[in-house]
Structure 1
């Protein structure tokens, strides 16, 4: 089969969607499929690029800016036409949210192909940002037109599907296929990534954006003793978070690692005692980083976000601890519970077992592959 993925970004860009798309694409290549990806350059890089990564042909359209997390790429429809002409896919795999996917609606070539829409997250119509609320009024008509045209839709958890207003009319053609990650070789821990000191080594990984709730995590840390925090990631709130750490007098207990290579990130999980995901809203649709923590056998404390997949990934009090989002006091109490080494070990072991049973890449990819062949049976 010849599969064309259309997404916002792709490796080496960081993010849960990007990491999963890469793993899925390379899995398909390994089983004999031809796979290509059409995505964007980073904002400000206007030149197109073509390369091969892990056997996957990657085309990046130039991007002039990315307001409201939306890449602006005037050349994207031309790159789509070129990819369709040169790669000749049997189906399109569209990763949402991504307005550039809407160009497929305007392409007669694309419309002749079956589409699989991978619903990673909603665009929140009730966002606190008025610009996003206003833009969604326009976005929604194209979003619904794409869902109407899709042969199949993939949601990553039952709770997210049921809470999604956008998917309300499309349950009949939606498959629930959780994300998955592959086994990884054990890494040599690098405790030096953490601030000097004793106590619980707590890890948090993600884009430094407002909805990730790192400010709440920092406030929670101020209520605790003997906890050292390592934050991995980059983003628009980096300076603000560093300033908050300094204002709370936590410079000696919080370290910012920036973006890490896959090897160094695996080492960070191996060296951590526990993991925290303090996200605030359904922008955290699933939490791929939770799977990485579970794979490493690390107990996690995470936000129990209504309508998100986080509570589906973490089985409260069995594989981790769930706390109300945005509540620094509750988050601090959850972290304090993880200072109990026996509890951490029990939750970590159960989490690793749950990952193996439900969230392996092989399981997820095989279900996606079966879906491909059901919508493009003659390929």
Structure 2
């Protein structure tokens, strides 16, 4: 079976959706599928690139369509439909797997060759959230939503990453009959292979070392986390990521008197990120909006047997991944005192941290390893092809 994936970007370009796409492609190869992926280049330019990557799992065809720039967070790529047409002709997929949101995927609607192939949509998140401005909401209502609905009507199956997100997504209400929940998965071997052979010995007795990983943007709730850390003197926080809110968050940390207790590390490679997971006592995900649809960083921390503190965001998969008192603690979004209390609780109970981490690691292997995810995706492929036959 040949599967063509359409996505937004691909590693080393940053993002949870990108990491998942990479891991799913390799799991597909291990499952005996032939795969190709069409994504966008990260930097603007005029030339697209195409390569065949020879990996231990098999050969992967990767095409990055050139972009002219970005508008409303969307890559502008006149090259995308041209590369799509080429791949449909040369690769001849049996299924097209579309990772949404990705507006360039709407070019499928204008392709006679694509309409002859079954489509599977992977619903990573709704296209807009509660804080979208008037302009963005207008574009969504009059342009994006009609095209999205047209694409979903032609899709044979829609993979959703968690039950809460399926139930809360307005865009999916009329398509529930073709939706199936397959939780995201992670190939922990990639990150663990880069990990140091021994834990760093730079911790201070009595302290709790917190880690936050993600884009420095409004919905990640990092301002909430900084204020919570300021109220817990024994807490130290390291933040991995880049983004438009970086300068504002650094100023806030200074205003809160957190110099020496908070470190902004920027973007890290796999080896440096693995070291941070090994060195931390707990991962914190303080996001406040449904834009945080799942939280792949939670799975990364679980694979390292680290406990979690996360916001229980209504309608998000985050509160579904984190089970209170089992693999972590859940906190109401934006509640600084509750965040401080959760940090204090873990700071004062080493046995609890160890128990939550161990249970989380076991749960990761059982439910969230990428090969388990691939089995669910493979079942969807087989059902789609049976109906199409």
Which TM class, normalised by the smaller chain length? Answer: over 0.9
Q: What is aligned with 1:148?
A: 153
Q: How many residues of Structure 1 are paired with residues of Structure 2 in the alignment?
A: 378
Give, in whole Å, the separation in 1 of the partners of 2:68 and 2:202. Answer: 35
Q: Does 1:326 align with 2:330?
A: no
Conservation of the 8 A alpha-carbon contact between 1:43 and 1:66: no
Q: What is aligned with 1:119?
A: 123
Give, in whole Å, the separation in 2 of the partners of 1:115 and 1:293. Answer: 33
Distance apart, 1:81 and its partner CA? 0.9
Give, in whole Å, the separation in 2 of the partners of 1:193 and 1:123. Answer: 42
Distance apart, 1:283 and its partner CA? 0.4
Give, in whole Å, the separation in 2 of the partners of 1:190 and 1:77. Answer: 48
* 1:166 counterpart SS class: helix
Q: Choose which of 354, 368, 384 in structure 2 pairs with 1:375.
A: 384
Q: Does 1:63 align with 2:67?
A: yes
Partner deviation per Cα, 1:40-62 (whole Å, 9 max, x = no partner): 11142332111234432111111
Conservation of the 8 A alpha-carbon contact between 1:5 and 1:93: yes
Q: Which moved more, 1:347-356 or 1:182-191?
A: 182-191
Conservation of the 8 A alpha-carbon contact between 1:193 and 1:257: no
Task: Return structure 1 stretches of 4+ with deviation > 3 angstroms.
Answer: 189-194
Give, in whole Å, the separation in 2 of the partners of 1:197 and 1:97. Answer: 45
Conservation of the 8 A alpha-carbon contact between 1:286 and 1:310: yes
Give unpaired runs (5+ residues) of structure 1.
none
Distance apart, 1:260 and its partner CA? 1.5
* 2:76 counterpart SS class: coil
Distance apart, 1:250 and its partner CA? 1.2
Q: Which moved more, 1:153-162 or 1:320-329?
A: 320-329
TM-score normalized with structure 1 length: 0.95
Distance apart, 1:87 and its partner CA? 1.5
Give, in whole Å, the separation in 2 of the partners of 1:127 and 1:226. Answer: 34
Give, in whole Å, the separation in 1 of the partners of 2:63 and 2:281. Answer: 39
Q: What is aligned with 2:110?
A: 106
Give unpaired runs (5+ residues) of structure 2.
none
Conservation of the 8 A alpha-carbon contact between 2:129 and 2:291: no
Q: Which moved more, 1:140-149 or 1:227-236?
A: 227-236
Q: What is aligned with 2:368?
A: 359
Distance apart, 1:227 and its partner CA? 1.2
Conservation of the 8 A alpha-carbon contact between 1:323 and 1:330: yes
* 1:338 counterpart SS class: helix
Give, in whole Å, the separation in 2 of the partners of 1:43 and 1:34. Answer: 28
Q: Choose which of 163, 187, 199 in structure 2 pairs with 1:158.
A: 163
Q: What is aligned with 1:261?
A: 269
Distance apart, 1:141 and its partner CA? 0.6
Conservation of the 8 A alpha-carbon contact between 2:207 and 2:234: yes
Q: Which moved more, 1:265-274 or 1:302-311?
A: 265-274
Partner deviation per Cα, 1:312-339 (whole Å, 9 max, x = no partner): 1011122111111112221111111110
Superposed, 1:38-53 pairs within 5 Å as 38-53=38-53
Q: Which moved more, 1:241-250 or 1:314-323?
A: 241-250
Q: Does 1:82 align with 2:77?
A: no
Conservation of the 8 A alpha-carbon contact between 1:193 and 1:268: no
Conservation of the 8 A alpha-carbon contact between 1:125 and 1:132: no
* 2:139 counterpart SS class: helix
Conservation of the 8 A alpha-carbon contact between 2:216 and 2:244: yes
Conservation of the 8 A alpha-carbon contact between 2:332 and 2:338: yes
Q: Which moved more, 1:159-168 or 1:265-274?
A: 265-274
* 1:113 counterpart SS class: coil
Q: What is aligned with 1:169?
A: 174
* 1:180 counterpart SS class: coil
Partner deviation per Cα, 1:184-230 (whole Å, 9 max, x = no partner): 34732564899x89611111111111111112111111111121111
Partner deviation per Cα, 1:106-153 (whole Å, 9 max, x = no partner): 111111100000000002363342232122112111111111100100
Conservation of the 8 A alpha-carbon contact between 2:285 and 2:310: yes
Q: Which moved more, 1:165-174 or 1:46-55?
A: 46-55
Partner deviation per Cα, 1:52-104 (whole Å, 9 max, x = no partner): 34432111111122233211112211111111112111110000011111010
Conservation of the 8 A alpha-carbon contact between 2:129 and 2:289: no
Q: What is aligned with 2:321?
A: 313
Q: What is aligned with 1:217?
A: 225
Give, in whole Å, the separation in 2 of the partners of 1:251 and 1:75. Answer: 47
